[in-house]
Amino acid sequence: MERMTCNAIVWQENGVYFSECAELGITGYGFSVSDAVEDLKRAIKEYFADDGGKRAADGFDEMFTDGQTRFFKA
């Protein structure tokens, strides 16, 4: 199975945190960094689930196990 690396970009605007996986064109949001990342994870899982099994989400949680959160304020 081919593996894909996805990067989560998180930024804040007017008290709301936004997250984006540019590789997949998927976004999330929340009122904290962790909420925004969790919402992005949920959206990515839905993206893979909605394709009828064409794209596999095996090992999905491994993408988020490095424990590094980088926050860039615009």
Cα–Cα distance, 48 to 66 (Å, whole number): 21
Q: Domain-by-domain residue ranges, the chain?
A: 8-64
Among all chains, which residue has been given the structure tokens 């894909």? 4
C-alpha span between 14 and 66 (Å, rounded): 28
pLDDT digits (tens, 9 = 90+) for 60-70: 554 454 445 44
Nearest CA to 8 among 55, 53, 65?
65
Question: Coil, strand, or helix at residue 35?
Answer: helix
**Contact status, residue 61 vs residue 40, Cβ threshold 8 Å:** no
Residue-wise pLDDT for 36-45, tens only, equals 988 998 998 8
